[in-house]
Structure 1
C-alpha cells in the first residue's frame, strides 16, 4: 500500500504558490518523479519502514519530505536583490536548484 495523498499534497502546495490548479502544473509531477516509489517510501502503514527524508526540485521549487511525512515546499528563486548571483540561496541549496 502507498501513501497517495503525499504526491497530491506536493502538487497542491506548488499549485497554490503558483496560483493555478494542480492539473495545470506542467509537466505533471509523475513525469518528473517516480511518485509510486516516493509514496512507498513514506507509507505510514509499512511497519518495516525506516526513517528517511527526500529532497528534490520540481518546477522551480525545492520539495522536502521528512521522516514524519511533513512536506516543505520552498521556491528555488528569490525575488529579492541578488547581489552575488546565487539566487539568494544558501550554498547547500544552490546546486539543487540549478537547471541544465
Structure 2
C-alpha cells in the first residue's frame, strides 16, 4: 500500500482487475521493492517475465535475483485467497524448480 501511495494510488484495491496491477508492476518494476534485487526476464530482447508460459499455466510475473539467480514467482489474486490459490503457486514454484532452476540447489 505504501508504495502504491508513492505513485498516486490511494488504495491498491482501486485496480479494477489483476491485469491492471500486473501491468502497473511491470511498468514500474525498477521503482518497486522487487526491482532492487530482481530483474525481469528477457529472451531475444522480448519481455517474457509477464504471463510466463509453463506446461501448467501462466505465471503472472517471473523474475530472477540479480546476484543469486534465484527465481521469484508472483501470482496476483485480487480479493481472492484460498487453498486452491496456494496450490496454484506451489505448482508454479515446483515447475520453476524442475524446469528452470535445475542447476540450483
| Normalised TM-score (structure 2) | 0.26
Higher helix share: 2
Task: Give TM-score scaled by structure 1 length.
Answer: 0.27
Greater length-normalized contact order (CA 8 Å, ≥ 6 residues apart)? 1
Higher strand share: 2
